[in-house]
Amino acid sequence: MSLVEFLTNIASGGAVGAIVAFLLEDVGLFQGLKSEAKKWIVLAAFLLFPVAATALLQYVPADVFTAIEPFFRAVAIGFAGWAASQAVHAYDKLKKS
């Protein structure tokens, strides 16, 4: 997935739920908040991510995306490797239990 495709996915709301859940799930400060505060923060995130992605797609020149695409792919590969290691670790831990 290219950076533009990723941002398009966020702009359409497709990946926002997973991103918000991933970012806030283990944040102690967020988890310590009352449910009413969490509700408003999550709403703000669901509004902010698509608007920010749309703004980036609309106002950042295409050649900027082309220039940073290799770095986005490197970060994406690193994230995928980390996620895979977490899945294997969770499976191994479950298997040993």
| Banded pLDDT at 22 (limits 50, 70, 90) | confident
Is the per-residue pLDDT at 11 higher than 90?
A: yes
Is the per-residue pLDDT at 25 higher than 90?
A: no
Indicate whether 87 and 72 sit together in one domain: yes
Indicate whether 12 and 54 sit together in one domain: yes
Domain count, the chain: 2
- What's the Cα-to-Cα distance from 57 to each of 1, 54, 72, 73, rounded to whole Å? 15, 5, 15, 17
Indicate whether 2 and 37 sit together in one domain: yes
What is the per-residue pLDDT for 7? 96
Give per-residue pLDDT as tens, 64-93: 999 999 999 999 999 999 999 999 999 998
Indicate whether 71 and 89 sit together in one domain: yes
Indicate whether 22 and 35 sit together in one domain: yes
Domain containing 25 equals 1-60
